[in-house]
C-alpha cells in the first residue's frame, strides 16, 4: 500500500486483532500480465510460513457473510495455528495459488483494488474476533 490513509486504515484493524495481523508485503513485478501474475504468486507462496493454511481471495471463490466467515475461521484454526490469506496484485492470482489453497473465498461480486481488499479482510478478521468474544461490534440480527 502506498497511500498513508490506506495504511492507517489497515493498521487500525490490524492492531485490534489479537494476536496481531501480520502483513507480508510483496512488491510489484514488471512484465507481461501472465508473467507478472506467475512471479507475484510464486513470491507470495514462498513467503507463507510452513504448515500455514492457505486461503486465497479470488472473485470466483465462495462468498460468506460475517457469521459464516466466523464459522469457517474457527474450522480452519482446527487444522492449523496459522492461516495465510493470499491476495493477488492488479493482475490477480495465478492458478497455482488457487490450487495450493485449502479454500478460495471472495469478498463479493464487485472487483476491488488489492490494497482495499487488505483493509476489508482486516476488518472482517476483526469482526470475527468480536463475534467470537460476544462483543457488540457486530450487529447482524439485532433490532
Say if 124 falls within a structural domain.
Answer: yes
Write down the pLDDT at residue 6: 86
Number of domains in the chain: 1
Write down the pLDDT at residue 31: 72
Domain containing residue 99: CATH number: 3.40.1280.10
Say if 137 falls within a structural domain.
Answer: no
CA–CA gap between residue 18 and residue 15 (Å, rounded): 8
> Contact 123/85 with Cβ under 8 angstroms?
no
Say if 10 falls within a structural domain.
Answer: yes
Write down the pLDDT at residue 84: 92
Say if 80 falls within a structural domain.
Answer: yes
Helix, strand, or coil here: 98? helix
Find, among 64, 73, 71, the residue nearest to 108 by Cα: 64
Write down the pLDDT at residue 10: 86
What are the residues whose beta carbons fall under 8 Å from the beta carbon of 135, sequence distance 6 or more? 129
Spans of the chain, pLDDT less than 70: 1-2, 20-21, 23-30, 141-143
Write down the pLDDT at residue 86: 92
Say if 56 falls within a structural domain.
Answer: yes
Say if 141 falls within a structural domain.
Answer: no
CA–CA gap between residue 62 and residue 74 (Å, rounded): 16
Average pLDDT, the chain: 86
Write down the pLDDT at residue 143: 39
Domain range for 96 is 4-20+33-44+52-132
Write down the pLDDT at residue 79: 87
Say if 142 falls within a structural domain.
Answer: no
Say if 76 falls within a structural domain.
Answer: yes
Amino acid at each position: 500500500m502506498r497511500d498513508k490513509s490506506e495504511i492507517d486504515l489497515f493498521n487500525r484493524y490490524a492492531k485490534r486483532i489479537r494476536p496481531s495481523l501480520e502483513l507480508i508485503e510483496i512488491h510489484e513485478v514488471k512484465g507481461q500480465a501472465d508473467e507478472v501474475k506467475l512471479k507475484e504468486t510464486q513470491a507470495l507462496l514462498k513467503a507463507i510460513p510452513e504448515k500455514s493454511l492457505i486461503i486465497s481471495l479470488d472473485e470466483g471463490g465462495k462468498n460468506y457473510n460475517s457469521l459464516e466467515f466466523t464459522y469457517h475461521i474457527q474450522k480452519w484454526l482446527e487444522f492449523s495455528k496459522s492461516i495465510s490469506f493470499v491476495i493477488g496484485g492488479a493482475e490477480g492470482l495465478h492458478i497455482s495459488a488457487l490450487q495450493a489453497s485449502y479454500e478460495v473465498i471472495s469478498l463479493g461480486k464487485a472487483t476491488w483494488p488489492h490494497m482495499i481488499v487488505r483493509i476489508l479482510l482486516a476488518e472482517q478478521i476483526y469482526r470475527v474476533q468480536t463475534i467470537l468474544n460476544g462483543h457488540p461490534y457486530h450487529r447482524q440480527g439485532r433490532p
